[in-house]
Amino acid sequence: MKRNRQWMVVLLMLAAGGLQAQAGSQDQAKPADAADAAATQSSYVIGADDTLHVDVWKEPDLTATLPVRPDGKISLPLLNDVQAAGLTPMQLAGVLTEKLKKYLADPRVTVVVTQMNSQRIFATGEVLHTGPMTLLPNMNILQALSAAGFTQFANTKGIYILRAENGKLTKIPVNYRQLLKGEGISQAILLRPGDTIVVP
């Protein structure tokens, strides 16, 4: 009986240690996830057709949700047209802060991208979901195809990407079956805004 109790105590101690280690690893993972999200937000480049929320602290008349026009600019009270495309949200916030210093003592500006309409790719052909889809950071061809899905008639040997470069369309073949087998990792092409995935 004593031996059984000793073994029970040892097992309980091991189980408790394992739970603490697991909890610790989860706690460590949370800051990493938050850091990744912050990095994505800080590295995102604003484009035409995006929607931005510009918040000027304690200035409700200057706070607004605005679309980025095709020319890449937004219109704000006092400042009129301001170039937004090509900047990150933090960079744009800095530009707006500097411009508002002419009118406000201590402007504090926050810019948040509420709709990433400029970061789009397209899928066409024998896919279940044709048309535009949002391009996520570091999204590759395999991830996009998993979101688009295939019809029963899809020819997975003939998949290719159409990409506009220097005013010309470039055809980039994709070997889908090799990707599924974990071969030809170089085929897992990172997608760019405006790419069109064609599944014959």
Q: Indicate whether 57 and 83 sit together in one domain.
A: yes
Do 124 and 171 belong to one domain? yes
pLDDT in tens, the chain (200 residues): 444 444 444 444 444 444 344 444 444 444 444 444 444 456 788 999 999 999 999 999 999 999 999 999 999 999 999 999 999 999 999 999 999 999 999 999 999 999 988 889 999 999 999 999 989 888 999 999 999 999 999 999 999 999 998 889 999 999 888 888 777 666 678 999 999 999 99
Q: Are 174 and 161 in contact (CB under 8 A)?
A: yes
Residue 16 located in a structural domain: no
SS3 at position 188:
coil
- Whether residues 101 and 159 fall in one domain: no
Say what the pTM is. 0.63
Question: Given phi > 0 = left and psi -120 to 50 = alpha, else beta, which region is 131?
Answer: left
Q: Tell me: do 69 and 90 sit in the same domain.
A: yes
Same domain, 128 and 102: no
Asked if residue 4 is part of any domain, the answer here is no
Q: Range of 75's domain?
A: 51-115
The domain that holds 191 is classified in CATH as 3.10.560.10
Tell me if residue 65 falls in helix, strand or coil. strand
Q: How many domains does the chain have?
A: 2
Which CATH number goes with the domain that contains 83?
A: 3.30.1950.10
Task: Please tell me the predicted confidence (pLDDT) of residue 107.
Answer: 95
Report DSSP state, residue 58. T
